[in-house]
Amino acid sequence: MTEKHRSRWYFGGISSSAAACVTHPLDLIKVHLQTQHEVRMRMVGMTMSVVEREGVLALYCGLSASVCRQMTYSLTRFAIYETVSDKMKDWTHGPMPFYQKVLLGFASGTLFFLLWSRMQNDVKVPPALRRNYAHALDGLFRVGKEEGMKKLFSGATMASSRGALVTVGQLACYDQSKQLVLGTGAMQDNILTHFLASIIAGGCATVLCQPLDVLKTRLMNSKGEYVGVLHCVTDTAKLGPMAFYKGLVPAGIRLIPQTVLTFIFLEQLRTYCGIRVIT
C-alpha cells in the first residue's frame, strides 16, 4: 500500500496566483515593449526606464487584475482537469494515456470560456432567466446534464482555442513529463523533478500557443486587410513557417517561469495540504 497526495480543486488557482505575483513584472514589461510605436528599448532597458521614472513598485501595477484572472481562469481549468483526471485514475487504477491527457487538457481550456462567458452574462438577464451557477464545476455538470455534452464545446473562438492549447501544454505535458522522468528511476518525486517537468511543460505551452498569439496580434493591428482568421492564416503562411513563431523567445521568457512556479507551488500545496489517498 502506498500513500499519494492529490490536489484540492482550488489549488491550481492559488498556485497560479502565487506564480503571477512573482512573474508580474515580466508581463508588465512585455506589454510596455509591445505598445512601443517604434522599437527603441529592449527588455532590460525598458525595465530600467520604468523603475527610474516611477519606482520599483510600478513593476507591480495591475497585479490585482492579474491575480483576479488567475483565480478565475487558471482555477477553473485546473479544477476541471484535475477533478476529471483523478476520477479517471480511480476507474483505470493507473495513469491516463497521453492522448487522453491531451484531450482532457483541450476540453478543460475550452470549457472554461463557455462557463466564463455565461457566468459573466448572467447579470445582464432578468432574474427569472439566469442560470445561477454556484461555481464553475456546478456550471460544467449542469450544462452537460441539461443541454447535452455537445453544448459544452459550442462557440469555439481563437481565445478559447488558445486557452485549450495552454492547458494542453501546461497540464497534460506536465503530467506526462513527470511520469516519464519518474519512470526512468533516476529521479524521485521531489522539487527537482517538478522543476524539470514544468520547464518542459512551459516550453510546450509556449510553442503550442505562439501561432495563435501571432495571428491574434496581426488581426488586432490590421486596418481591414483581413476578411477573417483563415485569410490571416494564409497571408502569414506566405512569409514561411517561422512567421508563426515570431516573438517566441519573449513569449517563453514570460510563460515558462509562470509555468515553473505554478507547478512548484502546486506540488508543495499537494504535499503538505492535499488529500491523502491510500492505494
Distance CA(31)–CA(50), nearest Å, equals 12
Closest CA to 259 of 63, 126, 78: 78
Does 155 have pLDDT greater than 50? no
- The confidence score (pLDDT) of residue 154 equals 47
Closest CA to 16 of 275, 261, 190: 261
pLDDT, tens digit, 9 for 90 and up, residues 54-94: 888 888 888 888 888 888 888 888 988 998 888 888 787 77
pTM of the model: 0.79
Does 104 have pLDDT greater than 60? yes
Cell numbers describing residue 222: 490590421
* Residues written for the chain: 279
Confidence class for position 16, pLDDT limits 50, 70, 90:
very high
What domains, with CATH codes, occur in the chain? 3-273 (1.50.40)
Confidence class for position 173, pLDDT limits 50, 70, 90:
very high
Does 207 have pLDDT greater than 90? yes
**What is residue 132's three-state secondary structure?**
coil
